[in-house]
Amino acid sequence: MKNLPPLAERMRPKSLDDYVGQKHLVGPGAVLRKAIESGTLPSMLFWGPPGVGKTTLAYIISQSLYRPFFSLSAINSGVKDVREVIEKASILKEQGEILPILFIDEIHRFSKSQQDSLLGAVERGIVTLIGATTENPSFEVISALLSRCQVYILQHLAEQDLLDLLEKAQKEDVLIKEKNIVVEEYEALLRLSGGDARKLLNIFELLVNAFDSKKIVLTNDVVLEHVQQNMALYDKTGEQHYDIISAFIKSMRGSDPNGAVYWLARMIVGGEDPLFIARRMLILASEDIGNANPNALLLAQSCFNAIQVIGMPESQLILSQTVIYLATSAKSNSATTAIAAAIALVKQTGDLPVPLHLRNAPTKLMKNIGYGKNYKYAHSYEGNFADLDFLPEAIRGTKIYEPGNNAKENESKDKMRKLWGDRYKY
């Protein structure tokens, strides 16, 4: 009994009739069920949150149609793995055998080149692709592949679906049914699951295994006490997701590369989307480094682009390099405070008119009433600078940008003083 798979795996449904949820797709007369029953199955993408049955549904489809089932995870598979599966499928086609279904979990993690490697086989019908993604496929899947797939949206499981799963486990599972389990309160179980069936069953099994007695009484307090002690330290869809990304950002902002790389590793091991991490670093490069080191934004952008091309696991090296660079860089939030001050000023003062000398004068009438008059073209003056007012008259002289105290911005500060005198006296 000790060698049995986890409860979530033991309870995995084997047919559409046992499948929980997604009635809009696989209920009687629903669109996907009709496609399965007709045997004419298109390549498709399952888009939905974790734990709603994407993998299970793909496997059930293959079993219902008696088709070979090849499965890859985009986290640890590359172009080589895809080509090996396609080669096996090509051999089956040459031998006149039934063509397989290729299931790719988290297909959004595949780089462009990895997704490109699927195109030919999908076009020629060598495999029927079923991709699973938690991200919007219109952003994460290349257009050529997306156009060849039908997208089906899977929804969060309803509360009753989750309760039915727990009841089914208590009645049918080889280990659970041997115990007398009384669930007095369900709120904590359902809340901690977040609508994820797999997580719900994992939590339930963790709780059952925590007690030696035959009778187990579960209340909200009991559930919270045991789960908080035993649950995994990173969950990319739950509260830990936000806590760890917060620790990650604050470590880089605080110039601690040790902390930053540690929290990066926590996210990588936990299966976080590397593009999500890269996006947050792009924001930090402007928000917390800004003009203290303009190259930070360039490197963060290069990191984001490289991840899209290369994919995991190699992208973890690019992430690590960028994280260390950002953490050890000089810091400034002057761009952040400047735009916040400017927006506050706009809200306070309203739509102030543009000074006449800054307006274009495309018509004779506009020119006659003063549009563009007294404007000085900076490049016509020494040092490419002309002393001119660029703010509306009502707020003339208002100071919005306050340079940070760092080498790069101190250099800018000196330049502004020389050009503008008291107007930019800091």
pLDDT of residue 236: 53
Per-residue pLDDT, 295? 93
> What is the structure's pLDDT at 406?
86
pLDDT digits (tens, 9 = 90+) for 325-376: 999 999 999 888 888 888 888 888 888 888 888 888 778 777 777 788 888 8
Map out the domains of the chain as residue ranges: 21-153, 159-230, 239-328, 350-424
The bridge status of strand 150-153 relative to strand 69-73 is unpaired
Tell me, yes or no, if the pTM score tops 0.75: no
CA distance between the termini of the chain:
74
Q: What is the 3-state secondary structure (H, E, C) of the chain?
A: CCCCCCHHHHCCCCCCCCCCCCHHHHCCCCHHHHHHHHCCCCCEEEECCCCCCHHHHHHHHHHHCCCCEEEEECCCCCHHHHHHHHHHHHHHHHCCCCCCEEEEECHHHCCHHHHHHHHHHHHHCCCEEEEEECCCHHHHCCHHHHCCCEEEECCCCCHHHHHHHHHHHHHHCCCHHHCEEEECCCHHHHHHHCCCHHHHHHHHHHHHHCCCCCEEEECHHHHHHHHHHHCCCCCCCCHHHHHHHHHHHHHHHCCCHHHHHHHHHHHHHCCCCHHHHHHHHHHHHHHHHHHHCCHHHHHHHHHHHHHHHHCCCCHHHHHHHHHHHHHHCCCCCHHHHHHHHHHHHHHHHCCCCCCHHHCCCCCHHHHHCCCCCCCCCHHHCHHHCCCCCCCCHHHCCCCCCCCCCCHHHHHHHHHHHHHHHHHHCC
Question: In Å, what is the CA distance from 227 to each residue of 24, 205, 230, 240, 254?
Answer: 33, 11, 5, 13, 32
Single-letter residue type at 186: Y
Residue of 46, 50, 264, 75 whose CA lies nearest to 141: 46
Query: Cα 51 vs. chain centroid, distance in angstroms?
Result: 16
Instruction: Name the superfamily (CATH) of residues 21-153.
Output: P-loop containing nucleotide triphosphate hydrolases (3.40.50.300)
Which parts of the chain register pLDDT below 70? 1-4, 213, 228-241, 426
In terms of residues, how long is the chain? 426
Sign of CA dihedral 274, 276, 279, 281: negative
Task: Please give the pLDDT value at position 228.
Answer: 63
**How many whole angstroms separate alpha carbon 208 and alpha carbon 181?**
8
Q: Which residues pair with 133 in a beta bridge?
A: 47
Cis peptide preceding 49, ω within 30 of 0: no
Q: CATH number of 239-328: 1.20.140.10, 3.40.50.150, 1.10.357.10, 1.20.272.10?
A: 1.20.272.10
What distance in Å separates the CA atoms of residue 377 and residue 288, rounded to the nearest whole number?
34
| pLDDT value, residue 297 | 95
Enumerate residues 6+ apart whose C-beta is below 8 A from 2: none
- Choose the CATH number for 159-230 among 2.40.50.100, 1.10.8.60, 3.30.1280.10, 3.40.50.1440: 1.10.8.60
Q: State the pLDDT at residue 426.
A: 65
How far apart CA 104 and CA 77 sit, in angstroms, is: 9
List of residues 6+ apart from 332 with CB closer than 8 A? 288, 289, 290, 291, 292, 403, 404, 406, 408, 409
The predicted structure's pLDDT at residue 235? 52
Tokens of 28: 């009687």
